Chain A
């Protein structure tokens, strides 16, 4: 599903965020990406969703060379990747329903199918009763779950999450991780960047560890 071949990323200004990173993540696999702050976790996820381009090396998603993807084909890639952000990135002038429906509208879906799929996604994250609420009226954990519902509503084959439990209490964090595990069970490939070592160990999944932009653990294992 995801292949990195000797990928380096140098930001303008000279900061080398990733150095020679190589690994494979198979279809239907679930893995955690850990490392100290500034290790390059967010950068790695951004390269997959084509939010940044690698300075050198190859990033393949489903065999597609993402680093060389022409601009106009980026939307097709992103529709197949659900992304969960630490800061939720919800639109505050829209209801929960409208936020979750956005990926469907963007992909050209209309009519009753949209309502059905939005409610199915909200049901999965336990927020079925909140569809008419505005994000500001929700707690941090609820907003995070709306973000997850939005990421999965289009049933993408790949799910990326950048510190999805950053501000949540341990109980809620476990619930959300369990949620990702459930998506993984139905075949979705999942990659989660997190600081929460305890939780990662409790989940017992593959770990990719970054240090100073180098992949120091987890590179060799493949699905």
Chain B
């Protein structure tokens, strides 16, 4: 029959070998992808505004992630340097303090011990606090001699046990383990991580809605085109494709913009951060997104864009029927 003959001459259905069909399929996707990109470029201002919204929404969690990663890098270095400060009884004379330092340094579990005499402590305090005159008025040095113990172990349990043993020494009035704040910091970081996850989830939902709404408007604006395409035999897939690509481009380009925003902000912070690190005599330098996180950002943006477009397409494309 005539219809069969027409079809065989045309769209390459069943009988043809596989390769041309794959090529045609690829060509259709390439056309849809390029067409969506051209459409995006045709109205640069409104596209840029939408992309900026998506970019900022994605930059926020990405930036927070970078901040957190840096905070963890900094504090990770500190955990191993837990110190136990032993404040000695007032009656312990300098010779006994020096002897105790040697004794402790020889103990297992202790890496190093440093003696800070009351005079050194006072000089340090004077230098750092600026309360020199007030200290002069006191007449007598109120500060005790201090032994600063650097433990060999770094796990909190061992540190706590060591601190308890040292506190029991008769010469020691008080022992302060500088671990509590490390623990607190880690608790704070865990909280911050959770917070970033919550913010990221909320902003991901925002991106989904922004893309969904953008695609919804696009579908409305191209209503006539959709109707005509259905009239002349366009499949749902054919009609859907440009809108899905549009969502994909919005997500991907928005993510690229977010990447630029984050890296740009880091570049602005790099100088001051380096100076701060210098003051702490630290070799630490702020790290950027890195390859892994950058890829995750781009892939996540593209996936969100595609998902947002799917939502819009599933809701609105079926409603448009020629009549």
| Interface, chain A (partner B; CB < 8 A) | 27, 46, 49, 51-52, 62, 72, 74-80, 83, 89-91, 102-103, 105-110, 150, 154-157, 187
- Inter-chain CA distance A75–B13, complex, in Å, is 14
Tell me which residues from 226 to 241 in chain B have a Cβ below 8 Å from any Cβ of chain A. Answer: 227-236, 238
What would 27 A/B residue contacts be, using CB atoms closer than 8 Å? A27-B2, A51-B322, A51-B323, A62-B3, A72-B235, A75-B238, A80-B3, A83-B231, A89-B224, A89-B231, A91-B225, A91-B228, A102-B232, A105-B31, A106-B232, A106-B234, A107-B233, A108-B10, A109-B10, A109-B11, A110-B31, A150-B232, A154-B10, A155-B6, A157-B2, A157-B3, A187-B2
- Inter-chain CA distance A78–B322, complex, in Å, is 12
**Structural contact, B322 and A156, CB atoms closer than 8 A:** no
Which among B27, B227, B231, B232 has the highest number of chain A CB atoms within 10 Å? B232
With CB as the reference atom, state the residue of chain B lying closest to A189: B2
**Structural contact, A79 and B236, CB atoms closer than 8 A:** no
- Inter-chain CA distance A103–B232, complex, in Å, is 6
- Inter-chain CA distance A76–B13, complex, in Å, is 12
Q: Is B92 an interface residue, CB under 8 A from the partner?
A: no
Q: Is B24 an interface residue, CB under 8 A from the partner?
A: yes
Q: Using A107-B11, A187-B2 as known contacts, say yes or no to A89 and B234 having CB atoms under 8 A apart.
A: no
Tell me which residues from 70 to 109 in chain B have a Cβ below 8 Å from any Cβ of chain A. Answer: none
- Inter-chain CA distance A27–B6, complex, in Å, is 14
Residues in A whose Cβ lies below 8 Å from that of B228? 89-91, 102
Residues in B whose Cβ lies below 8 Å from that of A77? 233
Residues in A whose Cβ lies below 8 Å from that of B233? 74-80, 103, 106-107
- Inter-chain CA distance A16–B1, complex, in Å, is 35
- Inter-chain CA distance A78–B10, complex, in Å, is 15
Residue from B12, B27, B224, B323 within 8 A of A52 (CB atoms): B323
With CB as the reference atom, state the residue of chain A lying closest to B28: A108
With CB as the reference atom, state the residue of chain A lying closest to B10: A107
With CB as the reference atom, state the residue of chain A lying closest to B25: A108
**Structural contact, A108 and B11, CB atoms closer than 8 A:** yes
B48 nearest CB across to chain A (Å): 21
Binary flags per residue of B281-323, CB closer than 8 Å to A gives 1, else 0: 0000000000000000000000000000000000000000011
B269 nearest CB across to chain A (Å): 46
Residues in B whose Cβ lies below 8 Å from that of A27? 1-2
Tell me which residues from 15 to 45 in chain B have a Cβ below 8 Å from any Cβ of chain A. Answer: 24, 27-28, 31
Residues in B whose Cβ lies below 8 Å from that of A150? 232
- Inter-chain CA distance A102–B232, complex, in Å, is 8
B129 nearest CB across to chain A (Å): 74
